[in-house]
Amino acid sequence: MPSEHVIGPVVSWFALNVAIGNLNGWVLRDGFEYPVLLTIVHMVQCWVLSAVALMTFMRRPDAKPIPRRVLAKVRKLSLSFCASVACGNIALQYIFVSFAQMVTAAGPLFTILLMYAITGKRYSMPAYLSMVPMCGGVMMCTAGEVNFHWVGFIAVVAATLLRSVKSILQGRLLTEPEDKLDELTLLHHMAGCSLPPLGLYAALVEHGALYDPRLRGEGSTRRWALVLLSGVVAFLLNLCNLVVTKRTSAVSLQVLGNVKVVLSIGVSIAIFGNPISAWSAAGCLITLGGVACYHRAPTS
């Protein structure tokens, strides 16, 4: 695949990740304290916007109905996404974000191992070895006050594994000839299938949103405008996520996630001038070294 076909989506992926991180942080600190409800709004917008695109400027006259077996795989993809959201939220009730990020940093390692377990794909020994500095470096970057709790630890490991499974499943749905879907179609069906389980989860854990005065009346219009804006960015990010997965691989997407942590640290230093410890600086360099080793390693 020519590099110019990959660089654009990857750069966009990084930019959209920075945008959604800041927007979501702003929304959740501004009185909208319902992360699952926020995810539901994002999925509704992804479902609607992708449908509009598929019916207008991305309409394909030769489009065929999607086979049931493919829709069944899309439902599995959606369930893995919903379960990862639930596990991630459960984890943060027991452990700090810094500890969760340390465990999440193992995402590329989990994905490369699951690729073999699920698809039988083998990687070269240099590729496996590159996981050590790549994941370990991010753990150094995010190391801080660690509050270990078994429930939180198990939940964040489950969330990380489920995100890896999601990356693998969506990669197969985008590339395998017998199941192949385009990015917009996959996003539309995945978002639609995600709404019932996410809605049930929100009804169980965030039913207080129905009675929250901050979501009605004075100031609520601005809050909902921010929520809807973050939904548009989430749509673009999810679409870009699928494009990057299709043009690289499920493992590469997880690798980019670790690079994103280093990039976020660099952006924070550049904008806010906040100090960085020698330990974190070393972690950033080690991570980038691991990414370089993975990039140079033979794929199999």
For every residue of 186-230, DSSP letters joined together read HHHHHHHHHHHHHHHHHHHH-GGGGG-GGGSSTTHHHHHHHHHHH
pLDDT given for residue 29 in this prediction: 82
Is residue 279 within 8 Å of residue 143, measured between CB atoms? yes
Rounded-to-integer distance, Cα 7 and Cα 77, Å? 26
pLDDT given for residue 257 in this prediction: 87
Q: Can you give the C-alpha Rg of the chain in angstroms?
A: 19
pLDDT given for residue 279 in this prediction: 79
pLDDT given for residue 65 in this prediction: 82
- Taking CA 48 as the corner, what is the angle to CA 186 and CA 83, rounded to the nearest 5 degrees? 55
Residues of the chain below pLDDT 50: 1-2
pLDDT given for residue 143 in this prediction: 66
Rounded-to-integer distance, Cα 70 and Cα 62, Å? 18
pTM for the full predicted model: 0.87
What burial class does residue 48 get, using C-beta atoms within 10 Å of its C-beta: 0-12 exposed, 13-18 middle, 19+ buried?
middle
Q: Which amino acid is at 130?
A: S
